[in-house]
Copies of this chain bind each other. A is one copy, B any other.
Amino acid sequence: MSKGLVVQKYGGSSVANVERIQKVAERVVSYQKKGYQLVVVVSALGDTTDELVELADKINSDPSEREMDMLLSTGEQISVALLAMAIHKLGAQAISFTGAQVGIITDTSHTRARIIKINADKIKEELKKGKIVIVAGFQGVTLNQDITTLGRGGSDLTAVALAKELTAGSCEIYTDVEGIYTTDPRIEPKARKIKEITYDEMLEMASLGAQVMQARSIEVAKKFNVPLHVRSSFSTKTGTMIIKEVKMMEEVVVSGITLNKNQAKITLCGVPDKPGVAVRLFQDLAVAGVSVDMIVQNVSHTRLTDISFTIAKADSAKAGKITKAVAKKIGSSDVLLDEDIARVSIVGVGMKSHHGVAAKMFGIMADNNINIEMISTSDISISCIIKKKFAETAVKKLHEEFGLNKRG
């Protein structure tokens, strides 16, 4: 009698070589032996995707997106075939499918396609026959039979969408870390694995720099209430559950702390304080493909004000040039570029109902002589831009003061 259906997703590092593929096969078969039905989503082996991108770049530095999808989708196809063979070797039954074969229908936005629907009949049929069904992650097919890929984090999305479509009991995301941590353990060794976290908190942490899962898959999991279990493919320990609501006796105010050191700050000084100036600047940046993160404009007491904003460091040259051009047009006095910054953020749904969290954060910074240059807040997060040299201290102090060192 079946214990129900589990969808498991294994990332590229989990299937990086023959030995790891064999380990994954062993885990999958052990689940089947326990009585579960299994749908397994696999990414491309290790660095395969990067290697294919590099090969394409040598041929055409501006390749057709349709052809890129044709090329990159082979990575996952190789993985599913090899995993099926490894499972067969263990004496279990398995069958592999491409995204197209299991009817993962997407729109026509190549390299970043959105799933429209899934015709899961084929998967159900094979599950009924007692087979482990292995599905190539990251890919789908248009109604016109063109192969598409789902963009970064696409395999997670495949797993979540299949879990929803098949009403799976759980969706396990296997990766090379043991779960979601209160902060980066490389910075704060006292960082602890979070047992449970809400979709909203995870979304916030993902957008603030926690790289375990892409925001998109979490959004879909939230939308359809698919519980996610993020865990390590190298151990059997329980990882982190990402769910709708965390029920605890005592509500936790701050769940995690993120740090992003890959940003730069640009300040446009002496801006005439009248409508339209900011619009022009950010329109020009958007047209050039520069993604702006935080924006701060002070209330001015004169006719002039300063606008500061942060961007990815990789975009700083481009953004600097655009800002200088705007500065010239509007007669602004100066443009300052600061690459020596870090963004430290605290995340937690508990903030909503707890007053004074921001004040406490600012107090901790002040107590440690860390000057805050910019502030940005959302419903469940507060971010501060500080000098980069204070980044690690800030993370450690916040981690301690918000009680993350000890929570069980």
Contact = CB atoms under 8 A, between A and B. Distances in A.
Interface string A74-87: 10011011101110
A14 to B, nearest CB: 15
Interface size for chain A: under 10, 10 to 19, 20 to 34, or 35 or more residues? 35 or more
A297 interface: no
Contacts of A80: 70
Copies of this protein in the complex: 2
B71 A78 contact: yes
Contact of A74 (B21, B68, B77, B88): B77
A27 interface: no
A64 interface: yes
Nearest to A82: B59
Interface SS of chain A: helix
B85 A64 contact: yes
Q: Which of A66, A70, A74, A147 has the largest count of B CB atoms less than 10 A from its CB?
A: A70
A86 B70 contact: no
A128 interface: no
A55 B86 contact: no
A100 B100 CA distance: 10
A67 B94 CA distance: 10
Given A52-B78, A95-B66, A101-B145, A86 B71 contact: no
Contacts of A78: 52, 71, 74
A70 B76 CA distance: 11
B95 A59 contact: no
B56 A85 contact: yes
A63 interface: yes
9 contacts: A18-B55, A56-B85, A60-B85, A60-B89, A67-B88, A67-B96, A71-B82, A77-B77, A101-B147
